[in-house]
Amino acid sequence: MQVKAGPLLSKINYPADLKQYSESDLEQISQELRQYIIDVVSVNGGHFGASLGVVELTVALHYALNTPYDKLVWDVGHQAYGHKILTGRRDLFHTNRVYGGISGFPKISESEYDTFGVGHSSTSISAALGMAVASQLKGETDRQHVAVIGDGAMTAGLAFEGLNHAGIENSNVLVILNDNCMSIDPNVGALKEYLTSITISKSYNRFRDDISHVLTGLSKLGPNAHKYVKKIEKSIKGTLLKQSNLFEALNFRYFGPVDGHDVKRLAQTIKDLSAIPGPKLLHCVTVKGKGFALAEKDQTKWHAPGLFDKITGEIKKSIPDKPQPPKYQDVFGHTMVELAEANNKIVGITPAMPSGSSLNIMMKAMPKRAFDVGIAEQHAVTFSAGLATQGLVPFCNIYSSFMQRAYDQVIHDVAIQKLNVVFCLDRAGLAGADGATHHGAYDIAYMRCIPNLVISSPMNEEELRNLMYTAQQENVGPFVIRYPRGNGVMPDWKRPFKALEIGKGRKICDGEDVALLTIGHVGNFAVEARAELNSEGFYPAHYDLRFVKPLDEQLLHEVFAKYKHVITVEDGSLPGGVGSAVLEFMGDHGYNANVIRLGIPDQFIEHGEQAELWAECGYDKNAIIAAVRKVAIKRTTDSMAG
């Protein structure tokens, strides 16, 4: 649905159009931009609060900088809707995150204004620094390089690695710290407390303002005075601010805190800062969800609320007429509490995803035994390893694609030492509208080659519970459980726990000609496909592997001895995936069957509804039906009986 933009915004196609307006128009433009985001996101979905919070900053940046010559890098990119609208994509914005439409994150291939592809957090400082050093080497010393990073994203080690390096490169980097005290959930950690303390510290701010006033006054006295001013500033800040300001201590010139909703002042400040060479940090205080009262009030809920009524604020939820299966993440959350009540060694860990993983259920029930460690996947894994050395059983829940960050920690800190850490990989498989950066496509491939790991995937809610139950038993060693985004298949899911035999799959049904080997939730696609195929006279067998590692070799011997055609189905990358493991088994044991592998092909899959993407990749119900039809013999009921 096309939404009409306000009178000023509708004339802005690119930043050059924005620059035609006078400073006094910037407030109205910000208002119109905010309204446009509300209008479109309410009917289209997507991230919400973060973009509303940076409306003024976005307008000010494109007004003050010379983009795309100047490089503007958004961290995570979920807050860049305003940027997209001001940089040529206003009329496409209604296709945001839709299959075939524009991406919900900045993307180099989409626009020259998107300087760096994002989705995962905390990359902006390193990327902007790389651009700045490149400009320096090319002699383009007038170019500005700006990283906009949230206080949540600033909690990651990668952000500090970038700051640490930028502090010694004398290149033109401006880090804008968008401090709204929120990650998706309230931000956590000592850094957050530090930022709050410098924001509210009256004496620090008075002292800083006094220095700025004196210096600005002096610098008006001419070029020589300017030199002096720089000297004085350096020495005052060097001696006093350095002691009290973390960023100054890292050789950044710290400015702020400033009101991130005062668009005129922001534009002026950004222009002024462009004249100062070297690494600088502007601490900008904003309100997540600014301008939409409910989003300001419940910032976690409005991070990505789904569709809503923009007048009443009512979030639209379809009301089903019969009980629905739960989300896998909620089964994880509730099961954690049940297991932890019975086993006091269990603790829960999430890197900044309490709501997204549903670990918040345990955090509420047992606050001392569940930890949000900030956007810090590497730390989450090694912290879990440390806990495990002391006999605890950490359940470390990380989205599959974010786990890519912590690969060495999984190998070096957990697997080599055979520590009892349970990794619950949520959003495994195609994740949907967040697109290529967020699909959990690679975990099977990148985990399967690591010795000592058990890797499993539940086909339904009951299996997830049983795998979690199995994983927390004594001395099981490192244990991975991967499950997808979205709902399972069992409305009545709370069944008693049963320990599963590690490395054992299960036969779901016998058949003729062809065997379907599935792993995880996609097994349900095979169940549906089989029902339809049976009515057409095709009778594939179906096995649920349950474990990627160790593979159930007994089951595979049975399959290869009995069936000429084997179809593997997985919600993961074909290169290195379960199908590959089955091929390896076949080669190692001298079998010779026709193996067809269905899964994610060797390319990055864009955004869309999960069902659209499963179909695109060719492993949904219809694709399984088509694959079976190609190789199986059509039988009548009589020939089956014979």
Ligand X SMILES: Cc1ncc(C[n+]2csc(CCOP(=O)(O)OP(=O)(O)O)c2C)c(N)n1
Could you confirm whether 4 is annotated as catalytic? no
Amino acid at 554: Q
Count of C-beta atoms within a 10 Å radius of residue 146:
28
Between residues 351 and 577, which has the closer beta carbon with respect to ligand X? Answer: 351
How far apart, in Å, are the Cα atoms of 407 and each of 134, 168, 229, 381, 608? 29, 29, 48, 9, 27
Between residues 107 and 208, which has the closer beta carbon with respect to ligand X? Answer: 107
Selected binder of ligand X within 42, 79, 384, 460 (CB under 6 A): 79
How near is the Cβ of 184 to ligand X at its closest, in Å? 5
How near is the Cβ of 525 to ligand X at its closest, in Å? 28
How near is the Cβ of 455 to ligand X at its closest, in Å? 22
Q: Which stretch binds ligand X (CB under 6 A): 124-132, 174-182, 457-465, 478-486?
A: 174-182
**Whole-angstrom distance, CA of residue 299 vs CA of residue 309:** 17
Q: Between 1 and 20, how does the x/- string for binding to ligand X read (CB under 6 A)?
A: --------------------
Count of C-beta atoms within a 10 Å radius of residue 510:
12
How near is the Cβ of 171 to ligand X at its closest, in Å? 23
Selected binder of ligand X within 182, 433, 467, 517 (CB under 6 A): 182
Between residues 116 and 539, which has the closer beta carbon with respect to ligand X? Answer: 116
Selected binder of ligand X within 183, 472, 518, 573 (CB under 6 A): 183
By CB under 6 A, residue 432 contacts ligand X = no
How near is the Cβ of 353 to ligand X at its closest, in Å? 6
How far apart, in Å, are the Cα atoms of 468 and each of 323, 374, 514, 544, 619? 24, 24, 32, 18, 27
Q: Could you say which of 71, 97, 405, 546 is catalytic?
A: 405
**Whole-angstrom distance, CA of residue 161 vs CA of residue 173:** 14
Selected binder of ligand X within 71, 120, 280, 327 (CB under 6 A): 120
How near is the Cβ of 491 to ligand X at its closest, in Å? 29
How near is the Cβ of 268 to ligand X at its closest, in Å? 23
Count of C-beta atoms within a 10 Å radius of residue 412:
13
Dihedral (CA of 430, 432, 433, 434) sign: negative
- Range list of H helices, 184-292: 190-200, 202-219, 223-236, 242-244, 246-249, 263-274
Between residues 78 and 208, which has the closer beta carbon with respect to ligand X? Answer: 78
Q: Between 26 and 65, how does the x/- string for binding to ligand X read (CB under 6 A)?
A: ------------------------x--x------------
Q: If we measure between CA atoms, which residue out of 461, 362, 350, 460 comes closest to residue 396?
A: 350
Q: Which stretch binds ligand X (CB under 6 A): 76-84, 250-258, 261-269, 632-640?
A: 76-84
Selected binder of ligand X within 78, 334, 482, 530 (CB under 6 A): 78
Count of H-run helices and E-run strands, the chain:
28, 17
Between residues 183 and 460, which has the closer beta carbon with respect to ligand X? Answer: 183
Q: Between 202 and 231, how does the x/- string for binding to ligand X read (CB under 6 A)?
A: ------------------------------
Find the residue with minimal CB distance to ligand X: 150
Selected binder of ligand X within 288, 521, 542, 549 (CB under 6 A): 288
Question: Using an 8 Å Cβ cutoff, are 87 and 14 in contact?
Answer: yes
Question: Using an 8 Å Cβ cutoff, are 423 and 396 in contact?
Answer: yes
Order across the sheet with 370-372: list the strands.
370-372, 346-350, 393-399, 422-426, 479-482, 454-456, 547-549
By CB under 6 A, residue 402 contacts ligand X = yes
By CB under 6 A, residue 405 contacts ligand X = yes
Q: Which residue has the tokens 């193996």?
A: 595
Give the interface size with ligand X as a residue count (CB under 6 A): 22
Amino acid at 392: L
338 half-sphere exposure, CB direction, 13 A CA radius:
14
Between residues 34 and 597, which has the closer beta carbon with respect to ligand X? Answer: 34
List % helix, strand, coil for the chain (3-state, nearest 5). Answer: 45, 15, 40
Could you confirm whether 288 is annotated as catalytic? yes
- Quick one: tokens of 383? 């912290």
Q: Which residue has the tokens 């800190």?
A: 413
DSSP 270-307: HHHHHTS-S-EEEEEE--TTTT-HHHHHSTTTTSS--S
Determine the straight-line distance between the first and last CA of the chain, rounded to whole angstroms: 58
- For 26-42, give the secondary structure using H, E and C: HHHHHHHHHHHHHHHHH
By CB under 6 A, residue 257 contacts ligand X = no
**Whole-angstrom distance, CA of residue 490 vs CA of residue 326:** 7
Q: Between 355 and 394, how does the x/- string for binding to ligand X read (CB under 6 A)?
A: --------------------x-x-----------------
By CB under 6 A, residue 76 contacts ligand X = yes
As a dihedral over the C-alpha atoms of residue 320, residue 324, residue 326, residue 328, rounded to 10 degrees, the angle is: -100
Scanning residues 131 to 170, which ones bind ligand X (CB under 6 A)?
150-153
Phi-psi region of 53 (alpha: psi -120 to 50; beta: other; left: phi over 0): alpha
How near is the Cβ of 286 to ligand X at its closest, in Å? 8
Q: Between 447 and 466, how does the x/- string for binding to ligand X read (CB under 6 A)?
A: --------------------
Q: Could you say which of 377, 461, 462, 463 is catalytic?
A: 377
Question: Using an 8 Å Cβ cutoff, are 339 and 365 in contact?
Answer: no
How near is the Cβ of 106 to ligand X at its closest, in Å? 13
How near is the Cβ of 273 to ligand X at its closest, in Å? 21
How near is the Cβ of 182 to ligand X at its closest, in Å? 4
Between residues 3 and 86, which has the closer beta carbon with respect to ligand X? Answer: 86
Q: Could you say which of 192, 208, 288, 485 is catalytic?
A: 288
Could you confirm whether 629 is annotated as catalytic? no
Scanning residues 318 to 357, which ones bind ligand X (CB under 6 A)?
352
Order across the sheet with 145-150: list the strands.
71-74, 145-150, 173-179, 280-285, 253-259
Selected binder of ligand X within 12, 127, 184, 346 (CB under 6 A): 184
The footprint of ligand X (CB under 6 A) covers 50, 53, 76, 78-79, 120-121, 150-153, 178, 180, 182-184, 288, 352, 375, 377, 402, 405
Active site residues: 288, 377, 405
